[in-house]
Amino acid sequence: MSKYRFYNISLLPQNVQQEEVGVKGYKSFFEIYKVLVDEARQNKSFAPLAFPLRNEMFFAFFNITIEEKYAYGTMVKYDQPESIVDLFSGESLATIQRGGSAHRYIFDFLFNFENHIFAINNKDGRLPSPSPFLKSFELFFNDIANNNFPNHVLEIGQITSSQAVEDAYNSAEKFKRGEVTVTFSNSTLFEEQIIKEVEAELKEKSIEKTTIIESSSPKGLMTDLSKYFKALLGIAKTTTGAGSFRYLDKKSQKLKIFNMKEHPYETSINKLEKDSEEDLRMRVYDATVKAVEQGTRK
């Protein structure tokens, strides 16, 4: 079973006078990065592009193909030992050639140019955890964004499961603290009036990012989070924001913490017997649309 996770990769205008980069811009963005990946493959070295993980592992784009509506390809998590040694004596058994790896994991991805959602197959649950994953994409893309889109700011966020947010909220009897950060998204997908108003104000005043913290007195509890907080939480689920709240669980009567980054939206997409490779890619493409739709759910 193939489970995909979803991320919002946004090039946001620095002020209201500047236009969105649109499909053409996001396509160009990946075309530029593809050149670097192709060069790394030719040189059999991803070292200049790779993000270092724990346990001497690295994470990088492996190949990229550009289509009209999307880019697709693979990412790789790998190690790069210099040699293999005897477990007991410590003597070198073999020297690893350039480009060699003892552990190599491949992940299929697709990036939708229209809604700028990136889908990646979390094969065997081996994707990097949320924090290093987001940091790796900043490393991959920051220079391209700064050098080629100087009037826009790169923001990357994980799509959160609306169901997980709802379950945690419904489990809460009262609240101790909440914190949410939202990056302006200029989205037209939200139907709730308060969210529309928040988005409009952020755009009007060129506010790129806003954070709100709500908390009770040291010995008290809040009966609920404010409408404004919940509106921002709704935006954060599908854009590049983040949120968390600490609450008193109805059943256990213990304080628990819900953190959005620990609850990514995932969906299973398996290749059917009748599927061509393009058929499968289009089903992943459709899933990027559904990922945003589930995030706009109240």
Rounded CA separation 186/208 (Å): 10
Say whether pLDDT at 14 is over 90: no
pLDDT digits (tens, 9 = 90+) for 211-264: 999 999 999 999 999 988 988 888 888 877 789 999 999 999 999 999 999 999
Nearest Cα to 238, choosing from 177, 204, 188, 172? 188
pLDDT digits (tens, 9 = 90+) for 101-147: 557 899 999 999 999 999 999 988 899 998 899 999 999 999 999 99
Structure tokens of 253?
């009567």
At residue 297, the pLDDT reads 64
At residue 204, the pLDDT reads 75
Q: Say which residue, 233 or 184, is predicted with more confidence.
A: 233
At residue 16, the pLDDT reads 64
At residue 235, the pLDDT reads 84
pLDDT classification of 190: cutoffs 50, 70, 90: low
Rounded CA separation 288/298 (Å): 19
Say whether pLDDT at 196 is over 90: no
pLDDT digits (tens, 9 = 90+) for 201-211: 777 777 778 89
Nearest Cα to 161, choosing from 225, 255, 243? 243
Structure tokens of 82?
């210099």
pLDDT digits (tens, 9 = 90+) for 71-93: 999 999 988 645 454 444 445 54
What amino acid is encoded at 20 in this protein? E
At residue 88, the pLDDT reads 43
At residue 144, the pLDDT reads 95
The alpha helices in the chain, defined as continuous H runs, are 22-43, 130-148, 162-171, 193-204, 227-236, 277-295
pLDDT classification of 197: cutoffs 50, 70, 90: confident
At residue 86, the pLDDT reads 43
Mean pLDDT of 94-100: 51
At residue 191, the pLDDT reads 54
Instruction: Tell the residue number behind the tokens 């709704």, with chain if given.
Output: 234
The average confidence (pLDDT) of the chain is: 86
